[in-house]
Amino acid sequence: MEQDDAKLLSAYRKGDSEALGVLVEKYKRPLFGFILRFSERREDADEVFQEVWVRAIKNMSRYRQKNLLSWLFRIAHNLMIDRVRRRKFILSLDTPVSEDGVPLGEQIADAGLGPDGATDGRELGLRIEAAASRLPLEQREVFWLRMQADLSFKEIAKIQKCSINTALARMQYAVSKLRKDLAGEYRELKETGI
């Protein structure tokens, strides 16, 4: 665990409620982004996000890992696996994920190519999002844990309870499928020099 995180957790345990706010703020984007990608609705993602933190804080005395974010992802992974098993947590392109209630599928379709036919990084990001949502669960999870949360394959393997080679193979399958799906966009990106 990073020194700052350890200090903040210790401060929270001693009654400094601000310390928890700082920690939540620090990790909210990668953690919430990850949870949201596996959630049916934004409210579900909010609920899981809170549950992850509550469980993390409650079990902090048992925690011995170095990386707090990795541990938070591990808790999130377990919670989401439970939900997937109960068939309540399946990502759908028809499901609203934005605050204005626009389904992810529509956001992606609306993004499209610009009027001059050129794509930019944001559009590619939305297309990656759409293509990644069609990946099998394990591959999708490895992809986002690596690409967004910036976790190492060693940490991902620990979260998924598999070997590093399995985690790597899942990532290779994911990348291979995405490259195939996004071949057109890549060509345009290369032509525009992005």
Partner 1 sequence: MKMKKIEKWLLLEASGELSPRQLRRLERELAVSEDARILRGDLGRFRGSVLRQEFEPSPWAAAKIAARLREEHHPARTVTRGLKPALALAACLALVAGILIFHEKQVSSASVAVLAAAGSDVWNDSLEEDMSRLESQIMAISGDSLDTIEM
Contacting residues toward partner 1, per CB under 8 A = 17, 20-21, 24-25, 28-29, 32-33, 36, 45-46, 49-50, 53-54, 57-58, 97, 121-122, 124-126, 128-129, 146-148, 150-154, 168, 171-172, 175, 178-179, 186, 189, 194
Which residue's CB is nearer to partner 1, number 80 or number 85? 80
- 157 residue type, one letter: A
Closest approach, Cβ 148 to partner 1, in A, equals 6
Residue 37 token pair: 């990608």
Closest approach, Cβ 189 to partner 1, in A, equals 6
Coil, strand, or helix at residue 56? helix
CA–CA distance, 123 with 14 (Å, rounded to integer): 46
9's CB contacts (< 8 A; 6+ apart) are: 1, 19, 23, 57, 60, 68
Q: Which of 48, 36, 38, 139 is nearest to 89 (CA)?
A: 38
Which residue's CB is nearer to partner 1, number 1 or number 45? 45
Stated length of the chain: 194
Coil, strand, or helix at residue 99? coil
Cβ distance 79 to 45 under 8 Å? no
Which residue's CB is nearer to partner 1, number 85 or number 172? 172
Which residue's CB is nearer to partner 1, number 24 or number 81? 24
Closest approach, Cβ 168 to partner 1, in A, equals 5
Closest approach, Cβ 161 to partner 1, in A, equals 19
Which residue's CB is nearer to partner 1, number 87 or number 140? 140
